[in-house]
């Protein structure tokens, strides 16, 4: 059933803390927070974009490191400081003329529940909270911040028959 849902996905929405990062808060000697991102997720996002799968980011926190990473990856739909994510997803669907069934969401914690309830393909990282795992139609084998987004992208592209093409283009 998740594979069937993935065939129609045109937009993948990602949470940040606990999905694109490991959820840890790293502080430097001056008390500034640093974020850690996995390069495999970054390449996965670039591959998704190349294959016509749009990627958006919604995060409850507003952090300069996240904004920088999102810019670096060329993600146009970046929404920081939003704890209530459902309305943003519904707005994106309207603006992009998408059905909610064409949207996937990858989350890890309670703040993601309302978003996961409205999209066509709710996805969770393997170390998500139990309630989030229960909402998910698909669960990664990897933890958040360790390539889970790349795994989700590969799953969607494979269901759409694009993953092998992507690999051939990269490896030839």
Supply the DSSP string of 29-78, one letter for each residue. Answer: TTS-EE----HHHHHHHHHHHHTT-EEEEEESS--HHHHHHHHHHT-SEE
Treating both helix axes as pointing N-terminal to C-terminal, what angle do 39-50 and 163-171 enclose, rounded to 10 degrees? 110
Question: Is 15 known as a binding-site position?
Answer: yes
Question: Is 91 known as a binding-site position?
Answer: no
Helix boundaries (H) for the chain: 2-7, 39-50, 64-73, 86-95, 113-118, 130-135, 148-159, 163-171
Question: Is 17 known as a binding-site position?
Answer: yes
Q: Give the residue numbers of the binding site for substrate.
A: 17
Annotated binding site for Mg(2+): 15, 108
Residues tagged in the binding site annotation = 15, 17, 108
């Amino acid at each position: 059933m998740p594979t069937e849902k993935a065939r129609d996905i045109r937009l993948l929405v990602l949470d940040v803390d606990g999905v694109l990062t490991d959820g840890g808060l790293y502080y430097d000697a001056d008390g500034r927070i640093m974020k850690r991102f996995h390069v495999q997720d970054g390449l996965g996002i670039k591959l998704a974009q190349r294959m016509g799968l749009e990627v958006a980011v919604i995060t409850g926190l507003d952090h300069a490191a996240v904004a920088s990473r999102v810019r670096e990856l060329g993600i146009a739909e970046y929404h920081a400081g939003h704890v209530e994510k459902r309305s943003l997803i519904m707005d994106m669907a309207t603006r992009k003329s998408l059905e909610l069934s064409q949207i996937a969401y990858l989350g890890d914690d309670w703040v993601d529940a309302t978003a996961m309830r409205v999209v066509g393909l709710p996805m969770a990282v393997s170390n998500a909270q139990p309630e989030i795992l229960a909402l998910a139609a698909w669960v990664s084998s990897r933890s958040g911040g360790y390539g889970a987004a790349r795994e989700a992208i590969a799953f969607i592209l494979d269901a759409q028959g694009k993953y092998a093409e992507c690999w051939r283009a990269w490896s030839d």
